[in-house]
A and B are shown apart, each in its own frame.
Chain A
């Protein structure tokens, strides 16, 4: 079945550092790929998405490129802020109704 593997956290960075959170997937067909973010005490919210190979999703300075050849969708940001501290989830949609989530990666950014 479908699965998503993310790097384990926590990832700890200083403000203005570069961020990469790795995500790889296993799926049949051509899934859509997503990054969701969860701030403390809240539910998840969509950060960005890509629906086909070589698409780049971007939002709030975050980017991720759908790489079919490496089955990856790594999340990147050039300069993180304290307010980016959250848990980040990679997810895929292989069909009509449901998403498969990774286990989440906690990001902690210090001033």
Chain B
């Protein structure tokens, strides 16, 4: 039972390069999320998708785009990477309302932008 799978695990980019972080869940969950984790800042929500076909901005959406490709997959794209986007990125999913069902997290993607 894989749960939430993120690829890649590690990535180094140069400033201005683009990349897509992939996320897939096999739990038939409706909602999916992208967070970034920075030292001393905790987790901050970038974008989320409450259900297939919908996406909404979170706390820190600037510089990112997302696609809810289908119910299983939710990708995060950096069009022009900046050093400020160096972070650990976590994808998560939940069956329904987050106050009634837990978030399930992937193991993260560590991104460095030089």
Q: Which residues of A contact B (CB under 8 A)?
A: 31-32, 34, 36, 41-46, 49, 51, 89, 93, 96-99, 101-104
Contacts and interface: CB of A to CB of B under 8 A. Distances in A.
B99 A103 contact: no
The secondary structure that dominates the A interface is loop
Nearest to A102: B42
A64 to B, nearest CB: 15
Given A97-B48, A97-B98, 11 more contacts: A32-B100, A41-B107, A42-B105, A42-B108, A43-B92, A43-B107, A93-B97, A93-B99, A98-B45, A98-B48, A98-B98
Interface string B81-100: 00000000010100001111
11 contacts: A32-B98, A43-B106, A44-B43, A46-B103, A93-B98, A97-B56, A97-B98, A99-B45, A101-B42, A101-B43, A104-B42
Interface of B: 4, 31, 33, 35, 40-45, 48, 50, 56, 58, 90, 92, 97-100, 102-108
Given A43-B90, A103-B40, A104-B42, A96 B108 contact: no
A32 B43 CA distance: 18
A45 B105 contact: yes
Contacts of B4: 43
